A and B are shown apart, each in its own frame.
Chain A
Amino acid sequence: MSNFSHLAVNDNGFLFDPTSGQSFTLNTMAQEVMSAMKEGKDVDQIARELSHSYEVSYESAYEDVLEFGTKLKLYGLSL
Chain B
Amino acid sequence: MKKKKYERPVIQKIENNYYVKHGVSARGYQKKRESIDNVKIADIVKKFGSPVFVFSEKAIREKFKKAQAAFKSRYPNFQFGWSYKTNYLKGICSIFHQEGAIAEVVSDFEYDKARALGIKGENIIYNGPYKSMESLTLAASENAKIHIDNFDEINDLEKVASKLDKKIPVTIRINMNTGIYPQWSRFGFNLESGQAINAVKRIIAGQKLLLNGLHTHIGTFILDPKAYGVAASKMLGFMDEIENEFGLDIEYIDLGGGFASLSHLKGVYQPPEIAVPSIEEYADEITRPFINNKKRPRLILETGRHLIDEAGYLISTIVGQKLLCDGRRSYIVDAGVNFLYTATWYTYNLELEKDTDGITEPSLINGPLCMNIDVINESIMLPRLERGDRIVFSPVGAYNVTQWMQFIRYRPKIALIGINGEMELLREKEKLADVESCERLPQRLKFSDES
Contact = CB atoms under 8 A, between A and B. Distances in A.
B10 A15 contact: no
B327 interface: yes
Interface in B1-57: 3-14, 26
A55 B10 contact: no
23 contacts: A15-B11, A22-B13, A22-B14, A24-B11, A24-B12, A24-B13, A25-B14, A29-B10, A30-B11, A32-B9, A33-B9, A34-B9, A53-B4, A54-B4, A55-B3, A55-B6, A61-B6, A64-B8, A64-B9, A70-B323, A71-B323, A71-B327, A75-B13
Contacts of B5: 54-55
Contacts of B6: 29, 50, 54-56, 61
A67 B11 CA distance: 11
Given A25-B14, A71-B327, A74-B325, A53 B9 contact: no
A23 B15 CA distance: 8
Given A54-B3, A54-B5, A70-B323, A30 B10 contact: yes
**Size class of the contact patch on chain B:** 10 to 19
Interface string A24-45: 1111111011100000000000
Nearest to A71: B11
B4 A55 contact: yes
A29 B6 CA distance: 8
Chain B at the A interface: SS class:
loop
A1 interface: no
B359 interface: yes
Nearest to B12: A25
Contacts of B11: 15, 24-26, 30, 68, 71-72, 75
Interface string B315-345: 0000000010111000000000000000000
Nearest to B329: A67
B358 interface: yes
A53 B2 CA distance: 8
A21 B11 CA distance: 16
B4 A68 contact: no
A65 B8 CA distance: 9
Contact of B7 (A25, A27, A67): A27
Contacts of B10: 26-27, 29-30
Contacts of A68: 9, 11
A54 B7 CA distance: 9
Contacts of A70: 323
A65 B327 contact: no
B360 to A, nearest CB: 11
Contacts of B9: 26-27, 29-30, 32-34, 64-65, 68
Most A CB within 10 A of own CB, among B4, B9, B12, B326: B9
Contacts of A72: 11
A75 B327 contact: yes
A51 to B, nearest CB: 9
Contacts of A30: 9-11
Given A24-B13, A25-B26, A68-B9, 9 more contacts: A15-B11, A24-B12, A25-B11, A30-B9, A54-B6, A55-B5, A67-B323, A72-B11, A75-B13
Most A CB within 10 A of own CB, among B6, B11, B26: B11
